[in-house]
Amino acid sequence: MHHDVYAQADGRRVVVLAATRMINLVAGGGNPIEAMDLGLTLQTRSLAAIASREFTEAGVHPVPAGIDRRIASAFADQLAAR
């Protein structure tokens, strides 16, 4: 359903999935925009915290609670406004 097959003169076949679009979005349903929006916002805010030297030690750190709460609250407000 989400693929086309093109036969070449030499017998080889070329299979094109999802009309060359992003296959997870076309054929698999992909992620809803809300999930993408939340994820990208979380990444951006976290990178800003790193850039501002909020983290003083190298390593893996959890997302700061303030960032997590601010993003969750803004998302909840948007859902309530619908």
Instruction: Give the pLDDT score at 66.
Output: 92
Domain ranges within the chain, ordered by starting residue: 1-30, 31-82
Which two tokens mark 4?
């086309």
Instruction: Give the pLDDT score at 24.
Output: 63
**Has residue 27 got a pLDDT over 70?**
no
Instruction: Give the pLDDT score at 31.
Output: 67
Closest CA relative to residue 43, chosen from 79, 67, 66, 59: 67
Euclidean distance between CA atoms 22 and 76, whole angstroms: 29
**Higher-confidence position of 22 and 7:** 7
**Has residue 64 got a pLDDT over 70?**
yes
> Percentage of the chain surpassing pLDDT 90?
39
Contact indicator for 64, 49 with CB cutoff of 8 Å: yes
What pTM did the predictor assign? 0.56
